Amino acid sequence: MIGVSIAILKYRAVPAVAPEEVSIFTKIARRDLLQDDVNEALLMRPGQRLTNFLVRFDYGAIDGLVRSVARTVTGASREMRLTQTGYVRSYAFWIVLGALALLLSIFVVTL
Amino acid sequence: MTLTIIGALPLLGALLIGTVKKEQTTVVKQMALLTSILTAVAFAITAMRFEVDRPGFQFVESHSWLPTFGINYALGLDGISLILILMSVLLVPVVIIAGWHESEGGRWSAKTFYVLILILETMMIGVFAATDVFLFYVFFEAMLIPVYFLIGGYGVGERSQAAIKFLLYSLFGGLLMLASIIGIYVISGNQIGHTFDIDKLATLQIDSLTQNFLFLGFFIAFAIKAPLWPLHTWLPDAAKSATPGTSVLLLGVLDKVGTFGMIRYCIKLFPDASKTFTPMIITLSVISILYGAFLAIGQKDIKGLIAFTSISHFGFITLGIFAMTTQGNSGATLYMFNHGFSTAALFILAGYMMRRRNSSTIADFGGLQRVTPILAWTFFIAGLSSLALPGLSSFVSEFLVLVGTYTRYPVAAILGTFGIILAALYILIPVQKALHGPTTAGNEYLPDLTRREKIAIAPVIAIIIALGFYPKPALDVINPTSVTTITDAGFSDPAPTGGK
């Protein structure tokens, strides 16, 4: 009863607008003891950054590796296609080169 | 012959549809639906005759196919294959009803679409029922073809690219598995005579180095299919490009072939190698759980979101399988079944939402709770099932997986538990954005679910709730096979620990 009486006497005249100039403790109390701020700083923001990083990592690194393999195969195929010139002399040259490679490999194996 | 007849029913339906003119789309759809319902009923009757306490395969049939190579057309059912075929045959009619208009706007006719779906159903039954490794491989590879055409021919966006990516990934895995199959076939010839019979192959004495190589051939193929991190990148592309119905079959059924294969082939045929690679696989599983969950949180596209949640869920399934405990194995198998239905519900409802809004961006769906309450509530229940809320089916399986894992790998189980917290984020944030808050412009007059749409989603939601409260019928079928899998592979459950 005494406590209630003191509180009534002290805080009877409550200002309509909360005062701006208050102690740091009042400011913290007004922000719900900074629970949201702590959660945001320690969990939410780092979590968002990690998520955004992983989305980029998945596309750039993991899927990017697969795409680069695909690009390499496509590029190599495009280059190899140029060897098909339609000239008999060109094909004859490749046949001779192949035969030489075959002979060389037989020679190396039977050494 | 029971399994052959059931497996042939969808193929027969596809052949009959082939005789109908392609302009008669309604007749085609009705025939496809009737065939899928008949198949589901026929298999349900067969499943009721399954004796849960009898060990080994049941409904066995074996016919010589290529005797020169010891290849047989051999089928049979154990608890795991039974539950997965049941899931498959129940999902196909649901997909057909839910996606009644999915074939419209495709590269080919509705007739081709439903023929492909039914051929795929035959393959799905075959791949789970095969007891000959070569026959399994044939179904494993052949089922890629209808899926390739379903994504490439009827999907949206960059569908051709996604279909090719899916095919190349799967073929690469299949190639490695083929090398291992040839390897084990050669070894069988030296020891017991050439055979592909799974039970006979399980008796082979293989040195540890060879076993490791053979195991990896199978495992990589299944890890691509499942998919497990870092072999997962084909899945989000395929899921985003495929129609919702195809995505249901892709994530709900086809991906289960990977985790099913890990139990049926990796552990059964190569128990020592399984033991060797377990730490690595457990690590990859935990990464998949957390990685999939984080990427799901970061998705702006609803189909991408469901795809990444599945990568996280497949991490749980693989974790349960390689925990090498009966609880973990039972939980993982039940997880496969439950995931099939929860993913089906999410994709089907996402499909309804996308069809109404003509967009798959989550931000475009604001305020659906007020405009389309039934659609919003069913999506909410499906989402809660995906995050494994107690009372819904996924909770039981996730709980069993984590308990089963904890007894052998407590750190992995604890890390995996963070996946549950992240699941709440990746489900509740989109639910908040899509269903609640102010109605986004353009959503004010969206219609709620039609009678056809309600008929399609109702049984899926009913199964999710029923198995959440009473999973015993499913576990009764799964448990004996899980016990056999673990004990045959030479593992035993760790003794319970604790204070007085």
Shortest Cα distance, chain A CAs vs residue B409, angstroms: 26
What is the token pair recorded at B272? 């020592």
Q: Residue B318 pLDDT > 80, yes or no? A: yes
- CA-nearest of B114, B121, B105 to B159 is B105
User: Which pLDDT tens digit goes with each residue over B76-134?
Assistant: 999 999 999 999 999 999 999 998 998 888 888 999 999 999 999 999 999 999 999 99
CA within 13 Å, CB half, B464: 29
Q: What is the mean pLDDT of residues B159-177?
A: 93
Distance CA B82, CA B69 (A): 28
Shortest Cα distance, chain A CAs vs residue B32, angstroms: 37
**Confidence (pLDDT) at B444:** 86
User: Which pLDDT tens digit goes with each residue over A9-54?
Assistant: 888 877 778 888 888 998 899 889 999 999 999 999 999 999 999 9
Helix (H) or strand (E) holding B60: strand B58-66
Indicate the DSSP class of residue B157: S
**Confidence (pLDDT) at B480:** 92
Distance CA B330, CA B327 (A): 5
Distance CA B214, CA B274 (A): 11
Residues of chain A contacting B294 with CB distance shorter than 8 Å: 50-51, 54
**Confidence (pLDDT) at A10:** 81
Residue A24's domain spans which residues?
2-109
Question: What interface predicted TM-score (ipTM) does this complex get?
Answer: 0.86
- Report percent pLDDT > 90 for chain B: 84
Shortest Cα distance, chain A CAs vs residue B346, angstroms: 22
Q: What is the mean pLDDT of residues B38-61?
A: 93
- CA-nearest of B344, B363, B378, B341 to B464 is B341
Distance CA B340, CA B333 (A): 11
Between chains, do B298 and A63 touch, taking CB under 8 Å as contact?
A: no
User: Which pLDDT tens digit goes with each residue over B321-359?
Assistant: 999 999 999 999 999 999 999 999 999 999 999 999 889
Q: Residue B438 pLDDT > 90, yes or no? A: no
Q: Residue B56 pLDDT > 90, yes or no? A: no
Residues of chain B contacting A72 with CB distance shorter than 8 Å: none
Question: Mean pLDDT, chain B, as a whole number?
Answer: 93
Indicate the DSSP class of residue B493: P
Q: For chain A, say whether B161 makes contact (Cβ under 8 Å).
A: no
DSSP string covering B285-319: HHHHHHHHHHHHHT--BHHHHHHHHHHHHHHHHHH
Q: Are B127 and B164 in contact (CB under 8 A)?
A: no
Q: What residues form DSSP beta bridges with B61?
A: B75
Q: What is the mean pLDDT of residues A52-76?
A: 92
Between chains, do A54 and B295 touch, taking CB under 8 Å as contact?
A: yes
Q: Residue A111 pLDDT > 80, yes or no? A: no
Residues of chain A contacting B165 with CB distance shorter than 8 Å: 66
Give me the residue from B165, B230, B294 closest to A51, CB to CB: B294
Given pLDDT bands bounded at 50, 70 and 90, which one contains residue B475? very high
Distance CA B115, CA B18 (A): 7
User: Which pLDDT tens digit goes with each residue over B274-314?
Assistant: 999 999 999 999 999 999 999 999 999 999 999 999 999 99
What is the CA angle B274-B279-B282, rounded to 5?
95
Given pLDDT bands bounded at 50, 70 and 90, which one contains residue B442? confident
Residues of chain A contacting B291 with CB distance shorter than 8 Å: 54, 58
Shortest Cα distance, chain A CAs vs residue B238, angstroms: 13
**Confidence (pLDDT) at B499:** 52
What is the token pair recorded at B339? 């995931």
Give me the residue from A52, A62, A66 closest to B298, CB to CB: A52
Residues of chain A contacting B297 with CB distance shorter than 8 Å: 47, 51
Residue in chain B nearest A52 by alpha carbon: B298
Q: Are B239 and B255 in contact (CB under 8 A)?
A: no
Q: Which of B161, B224, B284, B295 to mutate to test the interface with A (most CBs of A within 10 A)?
A: B295
User: Which pLDDT tens digit goes with each residue over B176-192?
Assistant: 999 999 999 999 998 99
Shortest Cα distance, chain A CAs vs residue B423, angstroms: 13
**Confidence (pLDDT) at B488:** 86
Q: For chain B, say whether A54 makes contact (Cβ under 8 Å).
A: yes
Exposed e or buried b per residue across B53-85, where buried means at least 16 C-beta atoms within 10 angstroms of its C-beta:
eeeebbbebeeebeeeebbbbbbbbbbbbbbbb
Given pLDDT bands bounded at 50, 70 and 90, which one contains residue A65? very high
Residues of chain A contacting B295 with CB distance shorter than 8 Å: 51, 54-55, 58
- Report percent pLDDT > 70 for chain B: 99
Q: What is the mean pLDDT of residues B248-275?
A: 94
Q: Is the dihedral of CA A10, A16, A21, A23 positive or negative?
A: positive
Q: For chain A, say whether B429 makes contact (Cβ under 8 Å).
A: no
What is the token pair recorded at B362? 């989550």
Tell me how many domains chain A contains. 1
Q: What is the mean pLDDT of residues B399-414?
A: 94
Q: Which residue has the higher pLDDT, B492 or B166?
A: B166
**Confidence (pLDDT) at B284:** 96
Between chains, do A58 and B297 touch, taking CB under 8 Å as contact?
A: no
Shortest Cα distance, chain B CAs vs residue A67, angstroms: 10
Residues of chain B contacting A62 with CB distance shorter than 8 Å: 230, 233
- Report percent pLDDT > 70 for chain A: 100
**Confidence (pLDDT) at A22:** 87
Between chains, do B294 and A50 touch, taking CB under 8 Å as contact?
A: yes
Using CA atoms of B129, B223, A72, A80 in order, give the dihedral in degrees to the nearest 10. -30
**Confidence (pLDDT) at B498:** 59
The Cα-based distances of B106 to A93, B75, B157 in angstroms read: 49, 35, 12
**Confidence (pLDDT) at B92:** 96
**Confidence (pLDDT) at B118:** 96
Helix (H) or strand (E) holding B63: strand B58-66
Q: Residue B450 pLDDT > 60, yes or no? A: yes
Q: Residue B478 pLDDT > 60, yes or no? A: yes
User: Which pLDDT tens digit goes with each residue over B207-246?
Assistant: 999 999 999 999 999 999 989 999 999 999 999 999 999 9
Written as one letter, the residue type at B495 is A
Q: Are B387 and B420 in contact (CB under 8 A)?
A: yes
User: Which pLDDT tens digit goes with each residue over B124-150?
Assistant: 999 999 999 999 999 999 999 999 999
**Confidence (pLDDT) at B361:** 92
Q: Which of A44, A53, A63 to mutate to test the interface with B (most CBs of B within 10 A)?
A: A63
